[in-house]
Amino acid sequence: MQVIRTVEAMRAWSLQSKRSGRRVGFVPTMGCLHEGHLSLVQLARRTADLVVVSIFVNPTQFLPGEDFEKYPRDPERDEALCRGAGVDVLFYPETGAMYAGDHSVFVDEQRLSSGLCGASRPGHFRGVLTVVAKLFNCVQPDVAVFGQKDVQQARLISRMVRDLDFPVEMVVGPIVREPDGLAMSSRNQYLAPAERQDALCLRRALDRVEDLFAGGEREVERLLAAMMEVFRAIPSARVDYAEIVDDVTLEPLQKLDRRCLVVLAVWVGKTRLLDNTLLTP
């Protein structure tokens, strides 16, 4: 595995790989890798000849007061995990290598980013789309793999790829969970032991909706109320949003007559956790 730290070296590698006729797969991450990330590496390997993983804790997607400084970083462990997973290139740029001191161009999406995490974290997706566009220009992948865990992000990046004509095929991998059902996340490390237990309320709320839906319940209000009941039982949990939205437009749905997403962002103590599930009538 090669570790590449500059944009120029990354581009040169990609150019050479593509000239030799090989398909480049790409998994962008912020590091502190877990099995969720590694599942995306396996997916990339299935559709590409070479796999690049990037690790970059992107300052522009954190709002003032968020956890940019304390975001968990463990470069040695991440490097070992990438080697073990058969990654070909670990792209590990310094912040200074990615952003000029006076950078002033951003990618802004106007529709899918207005609700859910976009409403709670204004400016977050502008940072995400900007850095993903930049990383696409550095790595020049044929295929890029993202996780369903951050479903709004995945939909937004697909929209950017379509609307800005990036020649990249998008793949979205399923949510990888801990054995007890908690969606894996680098931020799970923030949870104190009692909070780790409380965090299972997200999965429990989704299970509750899935069960009711399977039993024929189609009233959005009743499904949402059933979820809120689960959260009310957990004093450390504070719901940021719990919604049922169209799988494509991410708009809240009144009638469950098409594929939809149940999307959750819930604070457990000082940690904001995301989860979601798909409902297909």
Residues at the contact surface with ligand AMP, assessed by CB under 6 A: 29-30, 36-37, 39-40, 146-147, 149-150, 173, 175-176, 183-186
Q: Which is nearer to ligand AMP, 61 or 140 (CB)?
A: 61
Helix axes 124-139 and 7-19, enclosed angle (nearest 10): 50
Of 57 and 223, which has the nearer Cβ to ligand AMP?
57
Contact 41, 51 (CB under 8 A): yes
Q: Which is nearer to ligand AMP, 51 or 223 (CB)?
A: 51
Q: From the CB of 26, what's the least distance to ligand AMP, in Å?
A: 11
Round the CA-based radius of gyration of the chain to a whole number and report it.
19
> Which CB sits closer to ligand AMP, 4 or 38?
38
Least distance between ligand AMP and beta carbon 228 (Å): 24
Q: Cβ 32 to ligand AMP, closest distance in Å?
A: 7
Q: How far is the CB of 215 from ligand AMP (least distance, A)?
A: 28
Given the residues 34, 37, 103, 124, select the one marked as catalytic: 37
> In whole angstroms, how close is the CB of 41 to ligand AMP at the nearest point?
10
Own/partner pairs, 204-208, CB within 8 angstroms, 24+ separation: 204/230, 205/230, 205/231, 205/242, 205/264, 206/262, 206/264, 206/275, 206/276, 206/277, 207/181
Q: How far is the CB of 75 from ligand AMP (least distance, A)?
A: 14
Residue 68, C-beta contacts closer than 8 angstroms, at least 6 positions apart: 57, 59, 62
Q: Which is nearer to ligand AMP, 172 or 279 (CB)?
A: 172
Residue 34 bears catalytic tag: no
Closer to ligand AMP at the Cβ: 146 or 190?
A: 146
Residues with a catalytic annotation lie at: 37
